[in-house]
Amino acid sequence: MASEFPSPFRGGKDPLAAQLEKFVEKLDLLRPEKNGPAYLGKSGALSYAYPDVKNVTVPQEMGDLDAVLDDVVKLFEGAPNWGHPLTMCNVIPQSNTAAIIASMLSQVFSANILEGEYAWNVHRAELETAGMLGNMFDWNPVNTGAIYTYGGGGCWTYGLKYGLTRVLTDSRNKGIRTDAKVICSQQAHYVQQNATDWLGLGMDNIVHVRTDVATNQMDLGHLEELLRDFAAQGVPVATVVCTMGTTDASAFDPIGKVREVMDRHPNPEGFGKAVLYADAVVGWSWIYFKDYDFDTNPLQFSDRILPVLKANGQAMRELSYADAVGIDFHKVGWAPYVSSCFLYQNATEFESIHRRGADAYLQARTPYNPMYYTLEVSRTASGSLAGWATLKYFGKEGMQAVLGGILESKYYLYDVLSAHPDMVCVNPDDSGLITLFRVYPKDVDAKVQYGRELNDPAMRSDLIKHNRLTEAVGNKLFEWFRAGKQIDGKHTPYMSFSTGFRDACYNRDGTDAEAVVYALKSFPMNVFITPETMKWALRCVEEARDEVLNA
């Protein structure tokens, strides 16, 4: 079997590097010709039947390396091609070259970042991530902590756990016996449910702060009311979550002001201080514009987007007020999965209050041994290497160029869309990369019609009718993308839609499940998207609408 493993020594025949090159090339052959469809390989169809696909056994005999790897490559037939100019479906980036390679390299010698002995110098990636980002957040970099973990969901869970440990000081031993609250906005990500459920706090202990209709930001008056009432009732708050960039609307909660409100209404006596967690997994990278020189504008962004970049950078400056921040490099950081990082401002505190005793079979051989306080035991280095390589490779200017460049495309789409009478952008105030919009029948003035549907309860049935149209157009576009359909010899875009990114104005409490706004979604996440692609996407939306209405 020795010939089936990479050799521990130099020289001789070692298939690893050569095979890697060969199979990356084979994978690359799945890319389409120029102007081909936005999926890989020849067919966009699903190749298996569920659940029959599971009716399979381990082969009796040893396989052949090339044959097995050819089968791996085949699994990518039909997979989305995230770098394709027609791909704009969600917050899924094409990964940058440095991060892909760094993440792959982590597998060759299997660094385990649970502790120092098995990670050795590879731990620099996690430690220097803490330092680089701590500096960016205006924290003390040396006392900043970082834990690469299993997604933005993992970060949220860590943020909640931090609060539970700090506020319910005996909960690590006795269990959670007090209904502590976790407070987040109406727009917070649904992972709030995973975190409260799996940590045993219970989903009923989630408390929602109302959000402003126009800005989607947390309403500070309502937050203050909640904190005052809980304090008066003797009910502790474990964690307050500010979403710094909501998934659809890219809204930033006013975290600096939230900190002030929290300071005015501390937890009742006998409980620790509530943790302020910033869920910045989507929005974090706008912080790169915190210190951009807007006067000389060295990267020559257009006047159209300069004020937006400035406002986004200013909003993220307030991350300095958080106790902990979650960021996803695999979202608006152009790195592969999973490369999420949970950062905390006070490493001395976090690491001591979560500290567990020593394990008999692991010894501390270096000063950094996160296994004593992490949720996970073994942790792959792939996320930490991907994140760290991205920070070092892009630097500030590289990240600014990618983000700003894609934002130019978004505003181009917005401007073209505004000139289409049958379409209306429904998130015109959002400063992120997403455009949400609705398409109406040809003869309808979309802007007027939508305004009435949004505000007038008498127009509820029209709202619902056009929600159905939006959904049908969205599904038609997906069907076309998967079928490799062409219009005028060109492929159609891979987009998506939201079945309710906000409630109608007369449904502010959300009690009417149907009085919500559906919208088509363009979420450009790669640098190959051009103004032409954006124009073409709108043309395809109109074609899809016509086909749906004529069916």
Ligand X SMILES: *Cc1c(COP(=O)(O)O)cnc(C)c1O
- Residue window 360-379: x/- pattern of binding to ligand X, with contact defined by CB under 6 A: --------------------
Nearest CB to ligand X, comparing residues 81 and 243: 243
Pick the piece of the chain touching ligand X (CB under 6 A) from 76-84, 249-257, 277-285, 414-422: 277-285
282 and 247 in contact (C-beta within 8 Å)?
A: yes
Which 323-362 positions form the footprint of ligand X (CB under 6 A)?
328, 340
Q: Taking the complex as a whole, how short is the minimal distance between the CB of residue 340 and ligand X, in angstroms?
A: 5
Nearest CB to ligand X, comparing residues 91 and 538: 91
Check residue 223 for interaction with ligand X (CB under 6 A).
no
Q: Taking the complex as a whole, how short is the minimal distance between the CB of residue 174 and ligand X, in angstroms?
A: 30
Q: What are phi and psi of 383, to 5 degrees?
A: -65, -40
Which 310-329 positions form the footprint of ligand X (CB under 6 A)?
328
Check residue 282 for interaction with ligand X (CB under 6 A).
yes
Q: From edge to edge, which strands make up the β-sheet containing 516-522? A: 423-425, 435-439, 516-522, 496-503
Check residue 430 for interaction with ligand X (CB under 6 A).
no
- Alpha-carbon span 413 to 546, nearest angstrom: 21
Length, in residues, of the chain: 551
Pick the piece of the chain touching ligand X (CB under 6 A) from 148-156, 174-182, 209-217, 444-452: 148-156
Check residue 159 for interaction with ligand X (CB under 6 A).
no
Pick the piece of the chain touching ligand X (CB under 6 A) from 13-21, 240-248, 259-267, 469-477: 240-248
Q: Residue from 84, 123, 166, 189 that binds ligand X (CB under 6 A)?
A: 189
Check residue 247 for interaction with ligand X (CB under 6 A).
yes
Helix, strand or coil, per DSSP, at residue 149: strand
Nearest CB to ligand X, comparing residues 151 and 524: 151
298 and 263 in contact (C-beta within 8 Å)?
A: no
189 and 248 in contact (C-beta within 8 Å)?
A: no
Q: What are phi and psi of 425, to 5 degrees?
A: -80, 130
Q: Taking the complex as a whole, how short is the minimal distance between the CB of residue 523 and ligand X, in angstroms?
A: 11
Name the packing angle between helices 191-198 and 152-167 (round to 10°). Answer: 50
- Alpha-carbon span 493 to 482, nearest angstrom: 10
Phi-psi region of 400 (alpha: psi -120 to 50; beta: other; left: phi over 0): alpha
Q: Residue from 37, 153, 159, 236 that binds ligand X (CB under 6 A)?
A: 153
Nearest CB to ligand X, comparing residues 195 and 238: 195
The per-residue DSSP string of 300-362 comes to ---TTTHHHHHHHHHHHHGGGG-SEEEEETTTTT--PSS-EEEEES-HHHHHHHT-----TT-
Check residue 243 for interaction with ligand X (CB under 6 A).
yes
Q: Taking the complex as a whole, how short is the minimal distance between the CB of residue 443 and ligand X, in angstroms?
A: 37
Check residue 152 for interaction with ligand X (CB under 6 A).
yes
CA torsion through residues 107, 151, 376, 163, sign: positive
Residues within the interface to ligand X (CB under 6 A): 151-153, 156, 189, 191, 243, 246-247, 279, 281-282, 328, 340
